[in-house]
Structure 1
Amino acid sequence: MSLRIGSARTFFAPFGSYFPIFVFSYFFFECHLHKLSWLVCFFLINWHYLGIILLKCYGFDADFWQKPRNPLRTQMDYYTSVIFILLLALLVLSILISENSRISLRKKRLFIGANLLIALSAMAECVGVHLNGNPDFPKWLLAAVKALDYTLTPMTGGVFIALMEKPKDKNHLLACLLLGNAAMQAVSAPFGWMVIIDDDHCYSHGPLYPLYIVFYCLTILLLAVQMASYGKSFRRQNRMSLYATIGLVLTGIAIQEVLGNGRRVAYLALTLGAAFLYIHYCEFSQLKLDDELTEQQKKLAIDPLTGSLSRFAYMDALTALENHVPENLAVFLVDVNGLKAVNDAIGHDAGDELICGTARCVENTLGRDGQTFRIGGDEFVVLTDMTQTQAEAALAALKRETKSWSGENVSDLSVSAGYALAQTHPGQSVEALVNEADQAMYAQKQDYYLHFGRDRRRYRDGK
């Protein structure tokens, strides 16, 4: 039999959409998924030429495109066009994934791997449909293509499951299912146990096909279970779109497998599912990262020792008041007297006790209606709204509060405090008010040491 190159390329080229697959392999290589991707790439680019050589060696006439024997052959132009657009869609999706710097390398590999498996499975199905009912090609070629189709299809679901697993998770049941199915397809293909090909070169399901359906359904069940588990990591209101995505994929598979009659929409549903899952992962994973960032910022805003606001929160508060200082703003600075002597005499635990006691006293008096920040070791700042009369009354209340305070290691507490009011310093910035309050506080501290000369605090151990 003569082989006409043009007619053979007519067969291999329509669904030989090798350019998208070439780019898939390129992105695989860029993500360091596997060095063999270039070998796969070479095969996929040149598969129509390899097919021509193979057919010529066997002496088959490849001029079958103009001799449609399959009743579905009249729909092949439309079906092949759908497969071609599907491959291009997977290509675009893979480009988007490769360009996303927020996705980890592992996730990129899995997403692009899923796209490649969908593409290869769709092409295998397309080739099988074209070979079905065409006696110009050997039966074993149709059997091999169907075996490849039945091997790759469950693997696509396996990659989706891997996408939703944590990096350290190992799904041994899934691995056993996929490897068992691949072995079953390889063994069954030569003997017609999975696919029976009649004299008209039309295939039908063999005696082991129900076992394949069991493997397929178990993979789908694992996918549904993993999807439900994966959805729990998102907010409740964000799970519906995830479950709708798996519903779309399962509906497409059900239409093809149950209704049949040329309704080949499974890979279209898988392609849409891959795109929607990627969108969901990007959108809601970013929301999750934003929540984690907000939680970290909250932790940074709280001083871990005293529970007061931290210096980080203090800098944010100053920034917020940078362009507008309220008329009634009052700034207080408070510093513990004799902290170093306590640390040297009985240890830092006692010093921490003084700092925490100061924080409580300040929050209960000066900071009752404002914000209390610990900005240094024993230094506190309070931002609040007060008049001068209220500020003096608050300082008197702080003095009473510290005198009545008593700790486990230290029996009394002494602090120096100063304040500045926006009313008495019109037009000054909040930083200028802080400096004024700082000077007033240090004037009181100097007065404290001038009168007492040394720390006369009483300690619980009698020192």
Structure 2
Amino acid sequence: MLIGEGMSYYSTIVIFSTLALISMVTLVFENGHLNKKFKCKLYVSYMVIIIAGLSEYFAIYLNGADSWTIPLHVLAKVLDYVFTPFIGYFVVLQVVDETKSKMKYLVLMIINIIIEVISIFTGWTFYVDADNYYHHGPLQWLYLIVCFVAYAMVFYEFIKYGRKFGKKASFALFTIAALVIFGILLQEILEGEIRSAFMAQAFSAILIFVHYNEFEFIKGSEKLKKQNELVEMDALTGIYNRMGFDKAKEEYFKNNPDAPCTALMIDIDDFKLINDRYGHHIGDVALKFFANNLKNTLGEDSIVGRNGGDEFCALIKGKGAQLSFEKIRELSMLSEKFNFNDKEYHFTISIGYASCEKAEDSRNDLFGKADAALYYVKQRGKNYFIEYQPYMIKSDRTQLGFALRDVAMNVPGAILIYSADWDKEEILFANKELVHMFDCENMEEFLAFANYSFKGIVHPDDYERVEASIKAQVDKQLLEDSEKIEANVFVDYKIMTKKGKIKNIIDNGRLVDNEYYGKIFYVLLLDADMRKPYVS
């Protein structure tokens, strides 16, 4: 029994610890970034610790008191025995989310409650004698086993929880766990001495909350950082998207106002042809392949991004045009070949660049100038790189408004492009004039009518003659000049339109070797019957 100064000191501990826990309830209530569920866990944890601590305190205070307080003494000991082994659990409850773990604790708690309620009448684990003095019962070991299992489970949960953190944070958690267990053990071992269990338990709960709160803040910050990265990164290529690139670029300009730099605008040439020919999944592989090459070639002293589609951008930091030239040339000359599913694919790129050499040079339109240089390259054949010059005015872009596909689709002549693979002769392109020549409404209808092949265009009566003539003309020209890779062919034949009309056609074709499709025929088809009145 605690007496005199010892009891006064212990009372001070209990009062101080209780007030600390009540203060924590207030802090938790005012904490804005904790959800309601977690707040409820904290409230329950702190209330259980307070009940356990006060039960222990009143049991000690009533030990040997007047006989009329015996029922209160027994009640205090029951609450003490019921809650004390599980104070550690209610501390851990703050961070345990697994239902299975909670069920194990719940089962153990129910078993312990049953044992302690029975002990009121049998004195199994404890009893209060007629003089109102507390004693251990003959089956006190049952209570000790429950305590041992509960402490082991608590420590195990702390270890699991600690795996979420780094080594330093894990060590702090294990220290808290040790403090909880050591404090509770003191309650059982140091019978009759000044007890520090309640203080240890209370401050362990406070420490773990502080730790968890800090972790949640860090986790929230990291989550926000990752979300920002996701917003600023291109999901396909893993480099900056337009927003992320602009942010990184502006930050560099702000922090390095006087440093030279070089801006690049880059396009994958004829990217739509890659998608149309091989499929969008191959186009995606090409984009990822080039993004990786761009990042590796320009190195860490650069910012790289994807504007969207097949357009990329980059900023070489700390270097003007002259010092950046070799990197840009290396990027341009790099063999853009990649393998996918045991097949090799290749493409070319066009680059326009502009530099800011001195502090007084304006950076406002740096990428606009690089963009103008890029379009200058695209106007003049692509697959090259060039530095911006003042004569590359943006008005030059008006010429690019007439895209080759638009011209081919609307020129007053039937244009056909098909593969020179004699077995398939797959149609690769047909313009509107050709579609209308066959009395079809649209491209899909025409391709279905022609069965996607040049063979479906020529009248069956003429096909063998036409094919033999084309092969003979090609062979003759290639034999005459072994280094020649192109050949012109002229044939005439009949076609049958979808409406059953027979038309006489003049076919002016050219065999070329295309970097994407291999050997193909470009063909201009003329309706001979419609041509006669104009010729005559």
TM-score norm. by structure 1 comes to 0.74
Unaligned runs of 5+ in 1: 1-69
Letter in 1 for 2:372: Q
Tell me, yes or no, if the aligned pair for 1:367 and 1:383 is still in contact at 8 Å. no
Other-structure match for 1:51: none
Residue 199 of structure 1 deviates from its aligned partner by 2.7
Structure 1 residues 425 and 351: alpha-carbon distance in aligned structure 2, compared to 1, 3 A threshold: farther
Structure 1 residues 113 and 457: alpha-carbon distance in aligned structure 2, compared to 1, 3 A threshold: farther
1:458 aligns with 2:458: no
1:375 aligns with 2:432: no
Letter in 1 for 2:152: L
Letter in 1 for 2:367: V
Partner of 1:427, secondary structure, is: coil
Task: Give me the whole-angstrom Cα distance separating, in 2, the residues matched to 1:364 and 1:139.
Answer: 81
1:351 aligns with 2:283: yes
1:266 aligns with 2:197: yes
Tell me, yes or no, if the aligned pair for 1:411 and 1:457 is still in contact at 8 Å. no
Deviation track 1:161-216 (CA, whole Å, cap 9, x = no partner) reads 32232344434432221110111111221333333332322221222322112211
Letter in 2 for 1:184: I
Deviation track 1:207-244 (CA, whole Å, cap 9, x = no partner) reads 23221122112211211222222222210122222222
1:433 aligns with 2:366: yes
The alignment's C-alpha RMSD in Å is 3.2
Partner of 2:175, secondary structure, is: helix
Residue 76 of structure 1 deviates from its aligned partner by 4.2
Tell me, yes or no, if the aligned pair for 1:412 and 1:457 is still in contact at 8 Å. no
Letter in 1 for 2:305: F
Deviates more, 1:110-119 or 1:320-329: 320-329
Tell me, yes or no, if the aligned pair for 2:332 and 2:351 is still in contact at 8 Å. no
Task: Give me the whole-angstrom Cα distance separating, in 2, the residues matched to 1:289 and 1:120.
Answer: 33
Tell me, yes or no, if the aligned pair for 2:10 and 2:194 is still in contact at 8 Å. no
Tell me, yes or no, if the aligned pair for 1:73 and 1:130 is still in contact at 8 Å. no
Other-structure match for 1:228: 159
Q: Which has the larger radius of gyration?
A: 2
- Larger RCO: Structure 1 or Structure 2 (Cα < 8 Å, ≥ 6 residues apart)? 1
Task: Give me the whole-angstrom Cα distance separating, in 2, the residues matched to 1:358 and 1:457.
Answer: 21
Other-structure match for 1:329: 261
1:116 aligns with 2:19: no
Structure 1 residues 205 and 309: alpha-carbon distance in aligned structure 2, compared to 1, 3 A threshold: same
| Aligned counterparts, 1:87-98, within 5 A | 87-98=18-29
Task: Give me the whole-angstrom Cα distance separating, in 2, the residues matched to 1:195 and 1:164.
Answer: 33
Of the three residues 57, 60, 75, the one matched with 1:144 is: 75
Partner of 1:137, secondary structure, is: helix
Task: Give me the whole-angstrom Cα distance separating, in 1, the residues matched to 2:204 and 2:300.
Answer: 55
Other-structure match for 1:413: 347
Other-structure match for 1:241: 172
Letter in 2 for 1:178: M
Tell me, yes or no, if the aligned pair for 1:303 and 1:310 is still in contact at 8 Å. yes
Letter in 1 for 2:357: Q
Q: Which has the higher strand share?
A: 2
Partner of 1:133, secondary structure, is: coil
Residue 274 of structure 1 deviates from its aligned partner by 0.9
Residue 372 of structure 1 deviates from its aligned partner by 2.4
| Aligned counterparts, 1:35-434, within 5 A | 72=3, 75-294=6-225, 303-323=234-254, 324-360=256-292, 362-363=294-295, 370-384=302-316, 385-401=318-334, 405=337, 411-423=345-357, 426-429=360-363, 431-434=364-367
Tell me, yes or no, if the aligned pair for 1:419 and 1:440 is still in contact at 8 Å. yes
Letter in 2 for 1:143: V
Report how many residues are paired.
392
Letter in 1 for 2:349: V
Deviates more, 1:263-272 or 1:406-415: 406-415
Other-structure match for 1:444: 377
Task: Give me the whole-angstrom Cα distance separating, in 2, the residues matched to 1:84 and 1:190.
Answer: 32
Structure 1 residues 381 and 136: alpha-carbon distance in aligned structure 2, compared to 1, 3 A threshold: same
Letter in 1 for 2:313: V
Residue 144 of structure 1 deviates from its aligned partner by 2.4
TM-score norm. by structure 2 comes to 0.65
Deviation track 1:260-283 (CA, whole Å, cap 9, x = no partner) reads 223222111111111111112122
Unaligned runs of 5+ in 2: 383-398, 409-512, 521-536
Residue 253 of structure 1 deviates from its aligned partner by 2.5
Partner of 1:435, secondary structure, is: helix
Task: Give me the whole-angstrom Cα distance separating, in 2, the residues matched to 1:193 and 1:353.
Answer: 74
Task: Give me the whole-angstrom Cα distance separating, in 2, the residues matched to 1:203 and 1:415.
Answer: 89
Task: Give me the whole-angstrom Cα distance separating, in 2, the residues matched to 1:247 and 1:365.
Answer: 53
Partner of 1:321, secondary structure, is: helix
> Percent sequence identity over matched residues?
26
Task: Give me the whole-angstrom Cα distance separating, in 1, the residues matched to 2:17 and 2:197.
Answer: 11
Partner of 2:380, secondary structure, is: helix
Structure 1 residues 445 and 368: alpha-carbon distance in aligned structure 2, compared to 1, 3 A threshold: farther
Task: Give me the whole-angstrom Cα distance separating, in 1, the residues matched to 2:266 and 2:182.
Answer: 68
Letter in 2 for 1:88: L
Residue 120 of structure 1 deviates from its aligned partner by 0.9
Q: Which has the higher helix share?
A: 1
Task: Give me the whole-angstrom Cα distance separating, in 2, the residues matched to 1:74 and 1:222.
Answer: 37
